[in-house]
Structure 1
Amino acid sequence: MRPPMTVPSAHVAILGTGAYVPDRVVSNTEVGAPAGVDDAWIARKTAIRERRWAAPGQATSDLATGAARRALDAAGITADQLSTIVVATSTPDHKQPATAVFVHRNLGGAAPGVSAFDVNAVCAGFTFALDVAHGIIAKSGGYGLVIGADLYSQILDPADKKTVILFGDGAGAAVIGAGEAGHHIRTTAFHMYSDLSDLVVVPAGGSRLPHDPQTHAAGLQYFSMEGRAIRDFIINTVPGLVKQFLHDCEVLPTDIDHLIPHQANGVMLDDLWAKLDLPSATLHRTVGAFGNVGSASVPLTLDQAARSGELRRGDRVLMLGMGGGFAVSLTLIDW
């Protein structure tokens, strides 16, 4: 087992990525029928063609474990070398314990000394979790496993066309540890607009409004969001945040080679892309095939870009997280 070693913060890098999606493919026709919309309407509004939904009995930790194993393989390490596991999710297996605990158990060889816990920043969660794990590895050494995983299909109202057409289930993961000079996670910036916290919500099931027959009758156990208000906020606010972030990092917009954004809605991504001044960057998309997979969107898309060979050593990668709360996060990586 690799002994713990302090790693300079400037040398903590992504060493391997992985992703996992369920086998079940759900078409626009299947998901749209109960909501009263058809394939053409969904494609026009979202640019989503299909999504994956979990099988009966599959939980978030199962998806997370599948992505974790692939990330470990890509990094060339084994579970017993991990020092921390952080899972970003807003759809945990249980209210307690943390979903990361079940990933630790599923991996089998992970040591008892591993810290394993969850982070919830909804669809922005992966970048939050990555920053937390980055700090732990920079301080204590070893290897960190960071996972974004969500299973939204179980909390969607089949009749709500604003939500049920958008979301899929999936997981993405990254292993971080000491990297070569010039190959590292540079910095992350976070923004929280809590006055918009009512735009994305599952009303019932927490301490504010526990589950009871009345909440179920009212459908308050389902995920809900105000899509138009979210779109307007993102289009009007995020481009300025990106510009300021790059300025603070002393990086020119022309220096960015890849944008890995949260895959909220394909049409909205096109609108946002048109407003971002990133003339040399490639916009990476997975939303058409997988829909919005919550906190898995960014790492799943990162994994696809990495495995396709599009990410080359020395490229500058900008990851953009956007999620309920309302949270926006930006992470700059020298690949």
Structure 2
Amino acid sequence: MPKKPHVMILGTGHAVPDRVLTNAALEQMVDTSDQWIMERTGICERRIVAPGTPLSELASLAATRALAAAGVSAKEIDLIILGTVTGDMKFPATACIIQDLIGAKQAVAFDLSAACSGFLYGLQIAEGLMLTSGYRKALVIGGEILSSMVNWQDRDTCVLFGDGTGAIVLGAAEGERGIIHTCLGSDGAHVKLLYNPGCGSLNPPTPDNVAAQLHTIHMAGREVFRHAVTAMSNAMQQVLDEADIAPDELQLLIPHQANLRIIEGVAKRLHIPAERVYINVDRFGNTSSASIPIALDEASRAGLIHPGDLVGMVTFGAGLTWASAVIRF
């Protein structure tokens, strides 16, 4: 039987840059076409930050919107977790910068690195800390400025990614509403299917390494696609099985917005009809850890999620990592 929820989502928020980079604009930058991109990814456009914009600026805006939606002040937040691989700096944690920007003076703040799975990893960690360590209200944020590590000459990757942030506020559950179950997974044997080899201790940012584009995203697209469909399908089925919930009981599935073909493949394997799968990858591209909280906030504000609804979330990212959750709103 599923556990009784102890933690629930009180509010959601997201923030994306104003600048829209369309497929037509990309045609002027790299050897690609709108048809080529659409057929392979389903992406029409993505949002890109203005030069010099740090992640903390965008993430603080998403956090402020989530706090407003929850009716919670920043002073009430005692835990901030940011899932990202594109923080403002190597250190300190960007979550600490966000803490200062929003005025959450009582919060413990840290970043975690799980690539596209960062938000759902953060969700499970926050729930665990709230249950075991007495934190009462938490901010979980997923945010990326992936344009900072895209190779704009590599047509296989530069068409995929966008910038954005999403946030949720967590608090004590009410009745049956809340986080029912979460699952996490990883497989380090496939690290080099999707990675950024530069700027760490292995390949520090020397002039030679920067010239060799070691600071950009490297991806084996076909292999990533294959692993993503399998891992996401299995992860979602696992969390549903362990919660004793059938796929057709979900009112909405919010998958990681990496690629429309991946989303369609996962929905097909789970036998979830298209009208119950939330999709915005066409407008934002792959925003990594931000994709699920952005989609969650959009769906919530559009009135697609109602009190009592069961919502599934599932993601997959570099590591390889994957994660899933089922929540009653």
TM-score range, shorter chain: over 0.9
Contact 1:124 1:329 (C-alpha < 8 Å) held by counterparts = yes
Matches within 5 A, 1:237-256: 237-256=231-250
- CA deviations 1:119-174 (Å, max 9, x no partner) are 11000100001111112222314210110000001111111111110100000000
Residues 240 and 11 (structure 1), Cα distance of their counterparts in 2 relative to 1, 3 Å cut = closer
CA distance in 2, matches of 1:106, 1:47: 36
Contact 2:96 2:109 in 1 (8 A): yes
Q: Does 1:171 align with 2:165?
A: yes
What residue number does 2:39 align with? Answer: 44
Unaligned runs of 5+ residues in structure 1 are 1-7
CA distance in 1, matches of 2:145, 2:28: 21
1:205 maps to: 199
Aligned equivalent of 1:105: 100
Structure 2 counterpart of 1:5? none
Alignment correspondent of 2:120: 127
SS in 1 for 2:78: strand
Shift in Å, 1:9: 7.5
Equivalents in 2 of 1:22, 1:49: separation in Å?
Answer: 16
Query: Could you tell me which residue of structure 1 aligns to residue 131 of structure 2?
Result: 138
State the distance in 1 between where 2:290 and 2:267 align.
20
Tell me which of 38, 56, 71 is aligned to 1:76.
71
SS at match of 1:35: coil
What residue number does 2:12 align with?
Answer: 17
CA contact 1:67–1:173 (8 Å) conserved in 2: yes
Specify the alignment match of 1:57 in structure 2: 52
Distance in 1, Cα, partners of 2:31 & 2:164: 25
The equivalent residue for 2:153 is: 159
Tell whether the 8 Å contact from 1:84 to 1:144 is kept in structure 2 after alignment: yes
Amino acid at match of 1:126: F
Match of 1:258 in 2: 252
Preserved CA contact (<8 Å) 2:166 2:297 = yes
Q: RMSD of the TM alignment (CA)?
A: 1.6
Q: How does 1:242-321 map to 2 (within 5 A)?
A: 242-279=236-273, 282-321=276-315
TM-score, normalization by structure 1? 0.94
Corresponding residue of 1:26 = 21
Structure 1 contact 253–279 (Cα < 8 Å) conserved: no
Measure, in 2, the Cα distance between the counterparts of 1:141 and 1:191: 25
Amino acid at match of 2:66: A
Cα separation, 2, equivalents of 1:31 and 1:201? 23
Deviation at 1:318, TM superposition (A): 0.7
Deviation at 1:30, TM superposition (A): 1.6
Which residue in 2 is equivalent to 1:223? Answer: 217
Distance 2:52 2:203 in 1: 26
Out of 159-168 and 227-236, give the one that drifted further. Answer: 227-236
| Unpaired stretches in structure 2, ≥5 consecutive residues | none
Moved more, 258-267 or 280-289: 280-289
Kept after mapping to 2: 8 A contact 1:254/1:280 = no
Cα deviation, 1:24-68, whole Å, max 9, x if unaligned, reads: 111112223322001221112111111100012211111110100
Alpha carbons 2:4, 2:176 under 8 Å: kept: no
Aligned equivalent of 2:110: 117
Distance in 1 of aligned mates of 2:185 and 2:275: 23
The match for 1:93 among 88, 105, 110 is 88
Whether the aligned pair in 1 keeps the contact of 2:232 and 2:314 (CA below 8 Å) is no
Alignment length (residue pairs): 326
- The amino acid across from 1:223 in the alignment is I
Greater Cα shift, 143-152 or 233-242: 233-242
Distance in 2 (alpha carbons) for counterparts of 1:186 and 1:326: 25
CA 1:280–1:289: 2 relative to 1, 3 Å: closer
Asked if the contact 1:203/1:221 (under 8 Å) is kept, the reply is: yes
Q: 1:86 to 1:236 in 2, by over 3 A?
A: closer
Asked whether the 8 Å contact 1:256–1:281 carries over to 2, the reply is no
